[in-house]
Amino acid sequence: MNPEPQDLIVRTVCRRLAPFIQLFGLYVIMHGHSSPGGGFQGGVILAASFILLTLAEGAEMVQRRFSAATLTVFMSAGVLLYAGIGVVCLVLGANYLDYGVLPFLEPRSVGMLVIEIGVGSTVMAAMLSIFRDLLTF
Amino acid sequence: MKSLHLVVTAVTGLLLVLGSLDMPDTGDRRSPPATNVSPRYIESGFKETAVPNMVTAVLADYRSFDTLGEVTVIFTGALAVLLILRSGREEEDS
């Protein structure tokens, strides 16, 4: 599978559309705790925007923007962020992943936001790196 | 050997089906989860977490361990896929 660059109309529309899709993906991640959504869904939307760009612009774009190493770092960093916030809670004297002790105004809300970001990072990078490897398979 | 695999699969499947027969019906209001934890989440979920989305409160706070497991599964699955995809190939790009 090696998508060729599409014609000008398709490329322009996809390039104009992608930032809005990415913004929506970030919104879904950030608002996971107050509206439907969360890290899993937002991460997939973010990855889908890059996949759309790749299908329009050709395989070279995603390979240039995201090296395999970068994606692996994002993938691991998400899990690490999730597990790390649990360890922070542990250090602050509560149970693992018991966000109540975090030093914020609404600690549980903030804790959930952090783990949603971690989940989003992992899901996005996992989708993208599988897609990236399939491109050059 | 192949028939042994078949027997093991069949027996495991049968045990799983037998186990699922005792599950409470979907939406049963007298099932243990619906009488114990669900009212607790509904009544004190917002008070305890200050998060208006009850689903996320359960998913990311009360059952955070479960979600951590899900993320780890996705991570591990992606790693396995990547290892298979990259296995028969020279390292040409980083």
Q: Which tops the pLDDT comparison, A23 or B90?
A: A23
Domain ranges, residue A45:
8-135
Phi-psi group of A102: left, alpha or beta (phi > 0 → left; psi -120 to 50 → alpha; rest → beta): beta
Output the six-digit token pair for B63.
């059952």
Q: Which chain A residue is nearest to residue B50, measuring alpha carbons?
A: A109
Q: Which tops the pLDDT comparison, A127 or B23?
A: A127
Closest approach of B88 to chain A, Cα-based (Å): 10
Nearest to B51 among A69, A112, A129 (CB): A112
The answer to whether A82 contacts chain B (CB < 8 Å) is yes
Look at residue A111 and tell me if it is in a domain.
yes
Q: Which tops the pLDDT comparison, B34 or A89?
A: A89
Q: How many structural domains compose chain A?
A: 1
The answer to whether B53 contacts chain A (CB < 8 Å) is yes
**Which DSSP string do the residues of B26-82 spell out, in sequence order?**
TT-TTSHHHHTHHHHHHHHHHHHH--S-HHHHIIIIITHHHHHHHHHHHHHHHHHHH
pLDDT tens sequence across B35-57: 888 888 888 888 888 888 888 88
Ramachandran angles phi, psi of A56, nearest 5°: -85, -40
Q: How confident is the model at residue B11 (pLDDT cuts 50, 70, 90)?
A: very high
Residues of chain A with pLDDT > 70: what percent? 98
The answer to whether B56 contacts chain A (CB < 8 Å) is yes
CA distance A120 to B90: 30
* Residue A51 pLDDT greater than 50, yes or no: yes
Q: What is the pTM of this model?
A: 0.82
CA distance A91 to A114: 17
* Residue A34 pLDDT greater than 70, yes or no: yes
| Contacts A39 to B, Cβ<8 Å | 71
Q: Integer distance in angstroms from the first to the last C-alpha of chain B?
A: 43
Give Cβ neighbours of residue B34 (< 8 Å, ≥ 6 apart).
B24, B28
Q: How confident is the model at residue B94 (pLDDT cuts 50, 70, 90)?
A: very low
* Residue A46 pLDDT greater than 50, yes or no: yes
Look at residue A50 and tell me if it is in a domain.
yes
Contact between residue A4 and residue A58 where contact means Cβ atoms under 8 Å apart:
yes
Closest approach of A46 to chain B, Cα-based (Å): 16
Looking up tokens 């889908």, which residue turns up? A48
Q: How confident is the model at residue B91 (pLDDT cuts 50, 70, 90)?
A: low
Look at residue A44 and tell me if it is in a domain.
yes
Q: Do A67 and B94 touch (CB under 8 A)?
A: yes
Q: Which of A83-97, A112-126, B10-24, B39-53 has the lowest mean pLDDT?
A: B39-53
What ipTM did this prediction achieve?
A: 0.86
Look at residue A114 and tell me if it is in a domain.
yes
Which of A31, A41, A121 is closest to A85 using CA atoms? A121
Q: How confident is the model at residue B92 (pLDDT cuts 50, 70, 90)?
A: low
pLDDT of residue B90: 63
Look at residue A2 and tell me if it is in a domain.
no
Selection from A33-42, A57-66, A72-81, B24-33 with the highest mean pLDDT? A72-81
Look at residue A85 and tell me if it is in a domain.
yes
Helix (H, G, I), strand (E, B) or coil at A101: helix
Residue B43 CB burial class (10 angstroms; 0-12, 13-18, ≥19):
exposed
Average pLDDT over residues B78-93: 79
Calculate Rg over the CA atoms of chain B: 21
Which of B88, B68, B85, B64 is closest to A71 using CA atoms? B85
